[in-house]
Chains A and B, each alone.
Chain A
Amino acid sequence: MTQTTPDASARRQRAQVKVRTLRADRWWLAPLLTFLGLSSFLVYGVWAILDGSYYVPSAEYIAPFASPCLATSCPEGARFLGLAPFGDWYTLPPGLLILGLPGGFRLTCYYYRKSYYRSFWLSPAACAVQEPHGKYTGETRFPLIIQNVHRYFFYLALVIGAILAYDAVLALVHTPLGLGSWILLLNAVLIFGYTLGCHSCRHITAGRLNHFSRHPLRYRAWTFVSKLNAKHQPLAWASMYSVMGADLYVRLVAKGIIAFPYA
């Protein structure tokens, strides 16, 4: 005979543990470090956009935050392919014109979503740590449903990555022994590593297919992207700091603060 427990209302309750978490480890450390890391990038980004020293004509270095330079206020050598499609009417910093492309890519990136949902929105700050919000709808409605636009930012990020690679090659051709040229090249490589490892890229290459065997080339591309995708988090941080480091380096050279030979 089957024995059953009476279905009292108390039986349907979860354990009434009164604390936010029973975790005994330093669960707060990772979100704190992420918060500080992402905040430092945001603070630097604001400063860099407003800073006018983004081009070193003698070495053909252009700071990544200002590339492609599309305004007429850009020095002639700094203009992308010599073009200045924005007329005299545009007087704001040129970096503002392109900021939204890599910014939007990172903002909607699946890894960054995890990192800022955890560290800024505490939803949740760490696993098995109760979040402070009374209600949760996730990405089911506006505004967070817009995160689904990520793949379009991926296409645009590919263009930006190609332009940064072009800048690095240009600098290498002009100043092959310059440290800045190699810093710009390393940055372009890391940016591509991060961009091509994106989950949307993985889906577009072949993730959307159910028959890999019918599409061997796409399957090989998917396999390659999947390897990069497994390193998406470290590549996200490495490329974020490389773009910040490369940008700062070029600005310091442009300001004359870094002035050693082969800079």
Chain B
Amino acid sequence: MSYKAKFKVWRGEGGEGRLEDFTVEVNEGEVVLDIIHRLQATQAPDLAVRWNCKAGKCGSCSMEINGKPRLGCMTRMSTFEEDETITVTPMRTFPVIKDLVTDVSFNYEKARQIPSFTPPADVRPGEYRMQQVDVERSQEFRKCIECFMCNNVCHVIRDHEENKPAFAGPRFLMRIAELDMHPYDVADRQEAAQEEHGLGYCNITKCCTEVCPEHIKITDNALIPMKERVVDRKYDPLVWLGNKIFRRPKS
């Protein structure tokens, strides 16, 4: 069964642009990205959209569909009413290059600011021995496809662009948590999470978790545990005293 759907798509270069109206054919089983491609093929050959795998695994086609951050390739047209007008805009937090394509280099800059995995000096590659239970918490975070929808939806930078220098966003705070929980990582990440990467800005409203296409429990399993580790380190006098008295090693 096919029908004609009404679309409003953001067109423009840089920040300047407007929503353009289109009426376009939709066939059974299609997703929003298919419709964007049909627009390119039939009505707007210069419409820019970033895409790659069409399988929800590359994280390229992040966009906002009816105001919600979604992957274009994973948003089925059958989830909309046939008479509904579907609005497609680029991710709001990042600068627009053209149409639906945004410049996500903010994320790569933040990634570079996080020190990489730091094993103990006396353990050589090939000597790591880890139990599955010790690494499975971190493995959840490795499912991230870097679609950057969590950073896009986070109001800390979405609504307050001035916070961008101080806040790494959920994706990279999760990366810090991943490394901090790693049994063989010895870098001091807790102080930096709070002071350099802005963990304190997070008010745990869980939008990052809501939009994650990989269903990673970013807030509950990464950000809040990291906040609790920071409390251990900076704000809990009893933990501080216990560490002093018992000279606890990192466990």
Chain A contacts to B: CB under 8 angstroms: 5, 8-17, 21-25, 110, 113-114, 117-118, 123-124, 127-131, 133, 135-141, 144-145, 148-151, 199-200, 202-203, 207-215, 219, 229-230
Q: Which residues of A contact B69 (CB under 8 A)?
A: 127-128
CB distance from B21 to the nearest CB of A (A): 14
CB pair A138–B133 under 8 Å, yes or no, is no
Known: A25-B66, A118-B205, A124-B159. Is A14-B94 also a contact (CB below 8 A)?
Answer: yes
What CA separation (Å) do A10 and B10 show in the bound complex? 15
10 A-B pairs whose Cβ atoms sit less than 8 Å apart in the complex? A12-B14, A13-B96, A17-B10, A127-B68, A127-B211, A128-B64, A148-B231, A150-B231, A200-B228, A210-B134
CB pair A210–B251 under 8 Å, yes or no, is yes
CB pair A203–B198 under 8 Å, yes or no, is no
Of B22-30, B49-57, B83-91, B115-123, which binds chain A? B83-91
CB pair B66–A124 under 8 Å, yes or no, is no
CB distance from A228 to the nearest CB of B (A): 12
Known: A124-B159, A203-B228, A203-B229. Is A16-B15 also a contact (CB below 8 A)?
Answer: yes
B interface, size bucket: 35 or more
**A-B CB proximity, top 4 nearest:** A13-B15, A10-B14, A22-B67, A23-B67
Q: Which residues of A contact B97 (CB under 8 A)?
A: 5, 11
What CA separation (Å) do A122 and B17 show in the bound complex? 28
Known: A208-B229, A211-B251. Is A139-B202 also a contact (CB below 8 A)?
Answer: yes
Q: Could you mark each residue 1-29 of chain B with 1 if its beta carbon is under 8 Å from any beta carbon of chain A, else 0?
A: 00000000010111111000000000000
Does any Cβ of A come within 8 Å of B204's Cβ?
yes
Known: A213-B134, A219-B133. Is A110-B15 also a contact (CB below 8 A)?
Answer: no
Q: Which residues of B contact A13 (CB under 8 A)?
A: 14-16, 95-96
CB distance from A11 to the nearest CB of B (A): 5
**Which of these, B10, B134, B203, B207, contacts A211 with CB under 8 Å?**
B134
Q: Which residues of B contact A24 (CB under 8 A)?
A: 66-67, 84, 87
Q: Which residues of A contact B227 (CB under 8 A)?
A: 148
What CA separation (Å) do A9 and B96 show in the bound complex? 11
What CA separation (Å) do A17 and B17 show in the bound complex? 9
Q: Could you mark each residue 133-160 of chain B with 1 if its beta carbon is under 8 Å from any beta carbon of chain A, else 0?
A: 1100000000000000000010110111
Q: Which residues of A contact B228 (CB under 8 A)?
A: 151, 199-200, 203, 207-208
CB pair B95–A11 under 8 Å, yes or no, is yes
Q: A136-B156, A207-B225 are in contact. List 10 more A-B contacts (CB 8 A).
A: A9-B14, A10-B13, A11-B95, A12-B103, A17-B89, A22-B66, A129-B67, A131-B155, A139-B202, A210-B251
CB distance from A119 to the nearest CB of B (A): 10
A8 — nearest CB in chain B belongs to which residue?
Answer: B14
CB pair B153–A128 under 8 Å, yes or no, is yes
Does any Cβ of A come within 8 Å of B82's Cβ?
no
What CA separation (Å) do A14 and B205 show in the bound complex? 23
Q: Which residues of B contact A215 (CB under 8 A)?
A: 251
Which of B182, B183, B205: most chain A CB closer than 10 A? Answer: B205
CB pair B160–A135 under 8 Å, yes or no, is yes
Does any Cβ of A come within 8 Å of B250's Cβ?
yes
CB pair B225–A203 under 8 Å, yes or no, is yes
A127 — nearest CB in chain B belongs to which residue?
Answer: B207
Which of B155, B182, B185, B250: most chain A CB closer than 10 A? Answer: B155
What CA separation (Å) do A113 and B14 show in the bound complex? 36
**Which of these, A114, A202, A230, contacts B206 with CB under 8 Å?**
A114
CB distance from A108 to the nearest CB of B (A): 11
CB pair B66–A151 under 8 Å, yes or no, is no
**Which of these, A15, A145, A151, A210, contacts B15 with CB under 8 Å?**
A15
CB pair B198–A199 under 8 Å, yes or no, is no
**Which of these, A10, A123, A138, A207, contacts B200 with CB under 8 Å?**
A138
Q: Which residues of B contact A113 (CB under 8 A)?
A: 203-204
Known: A110-B224, A229-B220. Is A128-B67 also a contact (CB below 8 A)?
Answer: yes
CB pair A210–B16 under 8 Å, yes or no, is no
CB distance from A125 to the nearest CB of B (A): 10
Does any Cβ of A come within 8 Å of B110's Cβ?
no
Known: A24-B66, A148-B235, A212-B133. Is A140-B200 also a contact (CB below 8 A)?
Answer: yes
CB pair B134–A212 under 8 Å, yes or no, is yes
Q: Which residues of B contact A140 (CB under 8 A)?
A: 198, 200-201
CB pair A114–B200 under 8 Å, yes or no, is no
CB distance from A28 to the nearest CB of B (A): 13
What CA separation (Å) do A100 and B227 show in the bound complex? 23
CB distance from B69 to the nearest CB of A (A): 6
Q: Which residues of B contact A219 (CB under 8 A)?
A: 133
